[in-house]
Structure 1
Amino acid sequence: MHLLGITVALGLLGGIWAQLNVLRPECDSPEAEEAALVAQDYLNAQHTHGYKYALNRIEEIKIYTVPDGNNTHVLEIELLETDCHVLDPTPVANCTVRPKHLTAIEGDCDVVLKKVAGVLTVTAFKCKTEESREDVCLGCSTLLPLNHTQGLNFVQASLTKLNNGTPNLTYALLEVGRMSTQVVAGGQKYITEFVIIEANCVNDTCVPLNDTMAAHGICTSEGINDPSVNCKMFSTMMPLVDANTTGPALPPQVHVHMGYVSHKHGFGHHKLTAHHNPHTNGYLSAESAESAEVVPVAPALTIPAAEPASASPPADDSSSDASASMEVPITVVKREAPASIVANAPAAQKDNVAPVQVCPGRIRFF
C-alpha cells in the first residue's frame, strides 16, 4: 500500500521535474542585455535621491522556464553611478559614469523579472551600494559624508552667491548630491554638487515652490573660501549663471527649508534603494544568500491509499485513519549527478543539458 503511494508520488515528481528547466544564456546575449537594461531603468526609477546608475556588467543570468512561456529571469548585475541626478531627464545612456579618481560608486544588485506576453517586469530586487576603493590616487579629492559641517557651510555659501547673482529669481536647496575635499596650495579646497529649486522668499526665509513646474537644476561649486558656482537647469540643461567673480564670501541670506533637504547621514553617497519584496521571492532569496541552486518547491501532494484487499474492518481505528491518505511532501532540489551516470546518459537526456555559460559578461566602463 505504501509502495503504491510512493510510486504515484515519484511519477508526479517526474512530471514536475520535466516541466521545470533552468536556462543559462551567455551574459552578453541579447536576452540578457534586454533584461539587464529593464532592471537598470527600474532601479533608477525607484532611486529618489542622488544620481542615476548605469549598467557596467552582467554577472550572471538564469531563466526559469515554464510551459506557458511566462518565464522568470534572475540577474546579478553591477551598476556604476553617473553624473546625472535622478531629477535630470537626460537618458542614462547619455550620462557620464563617474571616474575612479573622483571616487566611483558601485551598486551590486540581484534582480528578479517576470516575462509575461513578451514583456519583462521587475518583481523583486536587492541591492548593495558602496564606494570603490580601487586606484585611489595620492592627492586626489576625498569624498566627504553628506552631513559634514564644513562642507554644508560651503554649499550654503555657494547658494547665497548664486542667489546674489540672480536678482529676479531665488533658489532654495533641494538636496546635496556630493561633497569632497582636496588639499591644495593655499588650504583646504571643497568641491560640491547640490540640487536647487525655485523658491518664494519672505524676508530672509525662502520656501521651495510646491509646483511641478518649479525650475530645478544642479550646481557645482568649488574653492577654498570664495566658491566658484556653475548651475544647469534640468528643463533646458543650459547654464544658469557663471559666478566666477572673486571677492569675500558673503554671509548666508537664505534659510533652507529643511523638509526638502535630502536625508542626512554619514555616507559620502546616496545609496540605491536597498530592496523590494526580497523575502517573499524564492529566486531572489537563494541568489542573495549565494546558496546552491534550488528549484522552487512543489506543493505537498495528498495521495489516497490503495483499497485494502479485505473488506473486514481493521482492528485498530486509529491506524485506519492514518492510512486513509498519505501526505507526501515533494521538494525538488538540484543535485550534482555522479560522473558515471552523466557519461552513460541516453542521447535524449543529453539534449536537455544546458550549455556552458559564458559569464560574467563584458565590462562596459571599468
Structure 2
Amino acid sequence: MAARPFAVVPRCVAALAVVVVAAAVVVVVLAPVPPWPVTCADGGAAEAAILGVRHINEHHKHGFKFRLQEIVSSDYRQVPGGCDVVLSVKLVQTDCHVTNPKAHDRCDVFRQDERGAGATCTVELSVTSGVAAVTRHQCATRPDPSNEEMSWICPSCPGLLPLDDPTGAVAAQEAVIKFNRESKRRHYFTLLEMAHLTIEYIPSSGTMTLLKLALVETTCPREATHTFAPCTPLCPDRANHFFCSTSYYNLQEVLGELVCELYLPKNSTRLPAGEPEPSCGPLFHRSPEASACKAQLSDPDPSVHHICPFPLK
C-alpha cells in the first residue's frame, strides 16, 4: 500500500486569533485567562479546584492537558491569616498536547474509543491574606478505560500500546523523516515525544498502529548537509512545535498520511546577528526532572503520560 502525501490541516477553534501561513497551516494565539479568586468561605471548592487544575497543567510538561471532571471532596482548615484547603478531584485527559497554546478548559476530552486517560488527584492549597497558592499535588494517572475494561465495552476498538512499543518507535522514526523530507520549514524537526499509541485490526489490511507524536524545531537549517538526528532542539519558548497523527500498516510496513497542527513559538524575538540560540538543557524525557518523577510514581502504566507530583522530591 503506497503512503499518502504529507498534509497539514486546520482545526476549527472558537474565540481564537487565527493566522494562516504556509498553505493551510492554522496557528492559534490565545489571550491569558485572569486568575480565579479563592477564598476561605464555605462553598469555595469550585474556585480552589479551578486553580488546582490550572496549576497541574502548568507543571505538566509531557503528554496531554487535563480538565476537571469532578470534585470528590474538600476540606478547609482555618489557620492564622487564612486557611489550608485539601481537595480530592478527578481529572480527564483532553486532546490538547501540552505544547498546544489552547487553555485546558477549552480543549475537548478524548472519546472513550480514542483511549484517553483519567487521574485522581489530591491538591493542597494555602490561602493567606486573600492570596491562594497550590502547595502540593499528587495524582494517580491511568488509562480510562483500561484495555481489560475496553475488551468488554468495545472488543473492536483500538487497544492501548506502551509508549515505547518497538513498532511504534519504528513508525515514529519514519514519521519524523517523512515530515522533514516533505516540510518546507526553515529548520529540521526532531521527535519531542510519543504522545499516544494504539493498535487496531483492519480486516482489509491487518493490524495498524495509530500514532500521535509531538515534534520540536531544532537549530539545524534545512540546507545542512548532515542528518537532523543530532540537532539541538530550540528552547521551548522559541521553537515551533507540530503535533502530528498518522498510521502505520504493520504487515506492509508502510506509513500512512501525516496530519499535523502547528503551534507558533511564544517568543518570536530575533536574536542579534551572530548571536547563537540560548541553550535550555535536555528535553523533558531525558531530564533529571523526568527521572525524579518516574521514581516517585507508584506502578505507572506504560501507555499513558503520568502527572508528576508537585513539588518533586
TM-score normalised per structure 2: 0.67
Q: Indicate the residue corresponding to 1:172 in structure 2.
A: 190
Cα deviations across residues 152-191 of structure 1 (Å, max 9, x unaligned)? 1111112222222114542111111111110112111111
TM-score normalised per structure 1: 0.58
Q: Indicate the residue corresponding to 1:198 in structure 2.
A: 217
Q: Does 1:269 align with 2:304?
A: yes
Q: Does 1:35 align with 2:48?
A: yes
Structure 1 residues 168 and 62: CA distance shift in structure 2, 3 A? closer
Provide the secondary structure at the position in 2 that maps to 1:276: coil
CA–CA separation in structure 2 for the residues paired with 1:92 and 1:113: 20
CA–CA separation in structure 1 for the residues paired with 2:106 and 2:92: 14
CA–CA separation in structure 2 for the residues paired with 1:144 and 1:46: 25
Shift of 1:266: 6.6
CA–CA separation in structure 1 for the residues paired with 2:78 and 2:283: 45
Q: Indicate the residue corresponding to 1:150 in structure 2.
A: 167
Provide the secondary structure at the position in 1 that maps to 2:255: coil
Does the CA contact (< 8 Å) of 1:61 and 1:75 recur in 2? Answer: yes
Q: Which protein has the bigger helix share? A: 1
CA RMSD of aligned residues (A): 2.5
Cα deviations across residues 295-330 of structure 1 (Å, max 9, x unaligned)? xxxxxxxxxxxxxxxxxxxxxxxxxxxxxxxxxxxx
- Count of residues paired in the alignment: 229
Counting only pairs closer than 5 Å after superposition, residues 302-317 of structure 1 correspond to structure 2 as: none
Q: Indicate the residue corresponding to 1:216 in structure 2.
A: 241
Counting only pairs closer than 5 Å after superposition, residues 130-145 of structure 1 correspond to structure 2 as: 130-133=142-145, 134=149, 136-145=153-162
Consecutive unaligned residues of structure 2, counting only runs of 5 or more, are 1-39, 266-281, 291-299
Does the CA contact (< 8 Å) of 1:55 and 1:78 recur in 2? Answer: yes
CA–CA separation in structure 2 for the residues paired with 1:229 and 1:261: 24
AA partner of residue 198 (structure 1): E
Provide the secondary structure at the position in 2 that maps to 1:262: helix
Does the CA contact (< 8 Å) of 2:239 and 2:264 recur in 1? Answer: no
AA partner of residue 166 (structure 2): T
* Percent identical residues: 24
Shift of 1:216: 1.1
Shift of 1:230: 0.8
CA–CA separation in structure 2 for the residues paired with 1:198 and 1:118: 42
User: Which 4+ residue blocks in structure 1 deviate beyond 2 angstroms?
Assistant: 133-136, 167-170, 208-212, 259-266, 274-278
CA–CA separation in structure 2 for the residues paired with 1:273 and 1:151: 24
Q: Indicate the residue corresponding to 2:70 in structure 1.
A: 57
Consecutive unaligned residues of structure 1, counting only runs of 5 or more, are 1-22, 237-258, 279-366
AA partner of residue 62 (structure 2): H
Shift of 1:61: 0.4
Does the CA contact (< 8 Å) of 2:190 and 2:228 recur in 1? Answer: no
Provide the secondary structure at the position in 1 that maps to 2:102: coil
Q: Which protein has the bigger strand share? A: 2
2:202 equivalent among 160, 179, 184: 184
CA–CA separation in structure 1 for the residues paired with 2:192 and 2:137: 28
